[in-house]
Amino acid sequence: MTTDKVRGMSGTPMNAGRGTGHRAHTSAYHALLTNIRNGVFAPGSRLPGERQLATQLEVSRATLRQALGRLAEEGHITAAAQRGWFVRPPRVVSEPPSQLQSFTEMAESRGLTPSTEVLSYETRPATFTEAEKLAIAPASTVLALARRRSLDGVRVLVDHSVIALSRTPGMDEADLTDRSLYATFQEVAGVQIVRSDYAVRAEAADAETADLLDLAPGDPVLVGEQVEYSLAEVPILCGQVVYRGDAYRFQASLFRPAET
């Protein structure tokens, strides 16, 4: 240990060549930057070690680190401790998992004003397919609800929902005009929706929905069929949502099991 001791001498070997009048650390900075720009150091790749770089650029490590620090500040490179300096790939971080969001929530998170018109509203016996989807007895009482929803006054979707009333007592008396259905389920019936099975497809608008969405018949619409489940995995609601094709897109993250 302590073999170092620094002997005198040393001093100034520098100033070799780069007589540009620049300070040493700016010369190093420019040398590195142009090499990054020229792709000598490819994006995402690791720079040579500081010690090696310092020798090659004929500056000391401390000076080199000034240049590196400046490059890092300006976002050209990033440091990974004990691993090296990396040329920063133009990475865009995004965290968009597939989360279930109500229309109201979605609108709010985008800063838009949602509005809802109830087109029809009735309690009636469930059809056979509805009963199957909701896992209730055929002809049980359900609440059928049709709504048109808009964002900032633009008509965006028509929504037909069928709610299993036996599982959400009180829902037939709630005001659904501009509340989130999810919130109403929670407050009125104490039921939390946590999962939705969704299937979407593209169709051509029929005359009726075209009229409702200010489209021409035949214009493309996105049709989503959904079944929504409570925390106990009990189906609560099934329905169909028809979106204007040019006003909505459906987003999700899919995962793939790893192979071994």
Tell me which residues touch DNA (CB under 7 A). 1-4, 6, 8-14, 23-25, 47-52, 54, 58-63, 65-66, 68, 79-85
Of DNA, its own copies, none, which one does residue 172 interact with (CB within 5 to 8 Å by kind)? none
Nearer to its own copies, 175 or 259 (CB): 259
Angle (deg, nearest 10), helices 24-37 and 50-57: 110
Judged by CB under 8 A, the residue of 118, 154, 232, 252 near its own copies is 252
Whether 60 and 12 have beta carbons less than 8 Å apart is answered as no
Judged by CB under 8 A, the residue of 10, 109, 111, 175 near its own copies is 10
Site for its own copies in 179-238 (CB under 8 A): 182, 186, 192-204, 218-223, 231
Place of tokens 């036996």: 166
Nearer to its own copies, 53 or 143 (CB): 53
Q: Which DSSP letter does residue 111 get? A: T
Rule CB under 8 A: is residue 24 a binding residue for its own copies? yes
Nearer to DNA, 85 or 185 (CB): 85
Q: How many residues does the chain have?
A: 260
Interacting span for its own copies (CB under 8 A) from 36-44, 142-150, 154-162, 168-176: 36-44
Least distance CB 196 / its own copies (angstroms): 5
Nearer to its own copies, 118 or 211 (CB): 211
Interacting span for its own copies (CB under 8 A) from 42-50, 106-114, 117-125, 143-151: 42-50
Task: Give which of 217, 223, 226 is closest to 245, Cα–Cα.
Answer: 223
Task: Give which of 241, 233, 242, 238 is closest to 129, Cα–Cα.
Answer: 238
- Cα separation, 184 vs 199, whole angstroms: 24
Of DNA, its own copies, none, which one does residue 146 interact with (CB within 5 to 8 Å by kind)? none
Cβ neighbours of residue 170 closer than 8 Å, sequence gap 6 or more: 188, 189
CA angle 110, 145, 154 (to 5 degrees): 35
Please tell me whether residue 42 adopts helix, strand or coil conformation.
coil
Structure tokens at 114: 């949602």
Site for its own copies in 63-92 (CB under 8 A): 77-84, 86-92
Terminal-to-terminal C-alpha distance of the chain: 48
Of its own copies, DNA, none, which one does residue 75 interact with (CB within 5 to 8 Å by kind)? none
